[in-house]
Amino acid sequence: MFTKEVYVARRAALLAKMRAAGEKGIILLIGNAEAPAQYKDNCYKWRQDSTWLYYIGLDEPLMAAVLDIESGAETLYANDVDIDDIIWMGPQPSVRSKAESVGIGLTQPYSMLDTDVHAAQNIGRPIHYINPSRYFNTLRLMQLTGKENVADGASAPLTEAIISMRLVKQPEEIAAIDFACDLGYEMHSAARDAIKLGIVEQDIVGKMEAVALAKGWGVSFPTILTQHGETLHNHGHAAVIEPGKLMVIDAGVESNEHYASDFTRTYPTSGKYTTKQREIYQIVYDCNELAFSLAKPGITYRDVHLATARKMLEGLSALDLVHGDLDEMVAKGIAGLFQPHGLGHNMGLDVHDMEDLGENKVGYDPDQTRAKQLGLGSLRMARRLVPGHVITDEPGIYFIPALIEKFKKEGLGYDFVNYAKLESYYDFGGIRIEDDVLITADGARRLGSRRLPASPDDVEASMQK
């Protein structure tokens, strides 16, 4: 947790934004509850709601808060423990002391939340809430507001105010993300050092996730570790490591403070890239470097995505896998055949920060619309960059036989794509290189104190050690 003053200032800023927008009524924030995995007392690993963590900081289940836009009163709703709780969980601090630890003046039992929200509703006060990230909170909001469709009733001004604050990371958050990235570095190094022919992928996953659990909260999303990188989110780890393959490792640590890291590296399982692998790797590496060099305040990440798409097509042209005018190919979305995802996303308390509030609301400026094209259409962060944005830089090239065949069958890209040569890449797999990047006052810097080896030479050298 940060200091009390951080949470007090964040809530004050949120209330001020709502007042400045002419809003009245109350802001209702709901923390997560325990979620049973098999039965009531055997739950999924506890994880607090990220917006709750941002404004309230208390990392415990079954809490809610009401912030009164007009009076500024702040109330924490939570239950003090009784003797049964003490038997199972030990003594706990009082709700009042928890509230005080984050600068909240008033407390009420959790059951009073319904009474107070209904009372506000009955006198016509607007109830501002955000789209809930969990089903339990959807049900709670249905009970509290009487709305059938909770998502449609989410407050646009509140959502906008929260996004505007969480998108621009504060210095203490940047330090927390740097730390999560240092843990990510350590986890990825353990993974790289564990790559060995003949072992099962799961062996490596166990070794790397041990770092995440020993030094942080755990992984920030289910680890992707696969010799089939062309399957973008492959969560199976049963395969034996074979010679001559490419292994994509896309994984992050969530720190104890709940800030994420998210890195991807692609290793040659035999320790050296083949010529064919190196040629493609170099293109992806060049795209990653180009994106980093372009990322600075004022440019949109959409334009950075498009610049890397052009660079990718230039590299693929040199290998005679595509041919034609680069700008025309970019406009026609030919890069999407090779990289059917976006260049990156926002990152913070969530690895894809705030996507529960709406991908487009988080990743797109009001004057931007999301493209439909394959690749560009999956871009989750398109905004004009400002200092404090934390984004990922993760270009990739994948040879997905089913997708290439579909393009071919539908006659797509016939003027540009060398389908005959592409067939020799059907067993290639995929390559992705991902770093986490902070936009600074005049440019950008990669997060974490050290960068994982990324150039083909550096990756090979790191595998020799």
- Where on the chain is the footprint of Mn ion (CB under 5 A)? 262, 392
Letters for 310-349 (x = contact with ligand GLY by CB under 6 A, - = none) are -----------------------------------x----
The answer to whether 216 touches 183, Cβ cutoff 8 Å, is yes
Alpha carbon distance, N-terminus to C-terminus of the chain? 38
- Which tokens is 234 given? 């492959």
Beta carbon of residue 254, minimum distance to ligand GLY (angstroms, whole number): 13
74 or 262: CB nearest ligand GLY: 262
Please check whether residue 28 is in contact with residue 52, taking contact to mean a CB–CB distance below 8 angstroms: no
Distance CA 279, CA 286 (A): 11
Nearest alpha carbon to residue 250 among 302, 188, 172, 206: 188
Interacting residues of 372 by C-beta distance below 8 A, sequence separation 6+? none
Nearer CB in complex with ligand GLY: 173/434: 434
Which does residue 201 bind out of Mn ion, ligand GLY, none, counting CB within 5 to 8 angstroms by kind?
none
**Residue 110 binds what, of ligand GLY, Mn ion, none (CB under 5 to 8 Å, by partner type)?**
none
The answer to whether 281 touches 289, Cβ cutoff 8 Å, is: no
Nearer to ligand GLY, 183 or 422 (CB): 183
- Closest approach of ligand GLY to the CB of residue 221, in Å: 6
Closer to Mn ion by Cβ: residue 29 or 351: 351
DSSP state, residue 153: G
Count Cβ atoms below 10 Å from residue 189 Cβ, excluding itself. Answer: 18
68 is written with which tokens?
Answer: 């009164």
* Contact flag: residue 173 with ligand GLY (CB under 6 A): no
Could you please report the per-residue DSSP string of 21-46?
TT--SEEEEE-----EEEETTEESPP
Q: How is residue 326 written in tokens?
A: 């680069």
Residue among 262, 286, 350, 436 that touches ligand GLY (CB under 6 A): 262
Q: Which helix (H) or strand (E) holds 435?
A: strand 435-439
CB closer to ligand GLY, 155 vs 378:
378
For ligand GLY, how many residues bind (rule: CB under 6 A)? 4
Work out how close the CB of 4 gets to ligand GLY at its nearest, in angstroms, rounded to a whole number: 33
Cβ closest to ligand GLY, residue 257 vs residue 262: 262
Which residue lies nearer to ligand GLY by CB, 74 or 394? 394
Minimum CB–partner distance for residue 3 and ligand GLY (Å): 31
| C-beta of 48 vs 264, nearer to Mn ion | 264
Under rule CB under 6 A, which residues in 399-438 are in contact with ligand GLY?
Answer: none
- Say whether residue 201 binds ligand GLY (CB under 6 A): no
Q: Maximum CA pair distance of the chain? A: 74
Q: Using the rule CB under 6 A, is 250 a contact of ligand GLY?
A: yes
C-beta of 392: minimal distance to Mn ion in Å?
Answer: 4
Q: Of Mn ion, ligand GLY, none, which one sits near residue 59, judging by CB under 5 to 8 A according to partner kind? A: none
Distance, CA of 238 to CA of 392 (rounded, Å): 28
CB of 344 to Mn ion, least distance (A): 7
Quote the DSSP letter at residue 80. Answer: P
Find which of Mn ion, ligand GLY, none residue 356 binds, CB within 5 to 8 Å per kind: none
Q: Tell me the residue ranges of DSSP E strands in 160-245.
A: 218-219, 224-226
Rounded least distance, CB 231 to ligand GLY, Å: 13
Q: Which residues are within 8 A (CB) of 447 and not within 5 positions of it... i.e. 6 or more apart?
A: 174, 177, 178, 181, 261, 390, 435, 436, 437, 438
Q: What residues make contact with ligand GLY under the rule CB under 6 A?
A: 221, 250, 262, 345
